[in-house]
Amino acid sequence: MQNGLYVSLSAQVALQKRLDTVANNVANMATAGYRAEETKFDTVFDQAKTGPVAFASVGDSYISRLAGPTIRTDAPLDVAVQGDAWLSVAGPAGPLYTRDGRMTMDASGQLRSVSGQPILDMGGAPILLDPQGGPPTIGRDGSIQQNGNLAGNLGVFTFDPRSRLTRGASGAIASSAPARPVQDFTKIGVIQGHIEGANVNPILEMTKLIAIQRAFDNAVATSNDSDSSLQNAIRSLGPTS
């Protein structure tokens, strides 16, 4: 079998995964706190051949840690996280993490994310405020005050740079390593009345879509050429009557 068929097929599989990733980023350009998903590919060499034949791997997806733009809303329950840190929310199997700081307060005074997940404090407990206590004041360290009294504290956490981030329920993030609560708010903090926008560059993503489509077309053309040459060889070298 010709190597070109295998190489072009591996390229098509890799490009399809990259296309799906870029399309998902484009679809979430307006999602607050969304972190873009990227794909990295490794070259795989066929060890069974005497000469090196390179294939594209299916690709390994990862979540970008670049921050998005800060958008002012002036809403008292909106917060934007500054620095490489995350808010904590309750997930189905444990705490998850998010950069989407659009919070709401239910009738009982519990703080929830925009998707309804309870917002957690440093100890992993839900945060309860006084529903009749008026708009809260949120400090840089996540402290929450109502009527001049401390009512709670937002949990702000960091991840080990080597940890792998994956998407969990309602777009929140899960980490392969335990998160650490932030103690030093010199470079990390939260800003009340702001939210973080998606860290997706629309122009760059659209440029990627065009480049991927062209590369995919080239891979298909290569596959067709390889198949055509193989069929011609079979017809030329096959037995004749």
Average pLDDT over residues 95-121: 95
Identify whether residues 74 and 190 lie together within a single domain. Answer: yes
Note the pLDDT tens digit of each residue in 19-69. 888 999 999 999 999 999 888 765 554 554 555 555 566 667 889 999 999
Identify whether residues 188 and 209 lie together within a single domain. Answer: no
Nearest to 63 by CA among 38, 97, 88: 38
Tokens of 180: 């650490």
Identify whether residues 92 and 186 lie together within a single domain. Answer: yes
Note the pLDDT tens digit of each residue in 129-145. 999 988 999 999 999 99
Decide: 223 and 9 in contact? Cβ < 8 Å. yes
Helices vs strands, H then E, count in the chain: 2, 19
Identify whether residues 53 and 110 lie together within a single domain. Answer: no
- Please tell me the predicted confidence (pLDDT) of residue 228: 66
Decide: 118 and 124 in contact? Cβ < 8 Å. no
Identify whether residues 212 and 116 lie together within a single domain. Answer: no
Identify whether residues 177 and 156 lie together within a single domain. Answer: yes
- Angstrom distance (rounded) from CA 122 to CA 153: 7
What is the value of pTM for the model shown?
A: 0.79
- Angstrom distance (rounded) from CA 38 to CA 33: 16
Measured at the CA of 86, the angle between CA 81 and CA 89, to 5 degrees, comes to: 115
- Angstrom distance (rounded) from CA 85 to CA 67: 10
Identify whether residues 105 and 187 lie together within a single domain. Answer: yes
N- to C-terminal Cα separation, the chain: 25
Identify whether residues 96 and 124 lie together within a single domain. Answer: yes
Per-residue pLDDT for 201 more than 70? yes
- Please tell me the predicted confidence (pLDDT) of residue 52: 59
Counting the structural domains of the chain, the total is: 2
Q: What range defines the domain where residue 114 resides?
A: 70-196
Identify whether residues 119 and 229 lie together within a single domain. Answer: no
Identify whether residues 173 and 75 lie together within a single domain. Answer: yes
Identify whether residues 13 and 106 lie together within a single domain. Answer: no
Identify whether residues 169 and 54 lie together within a single domain. Answer: no
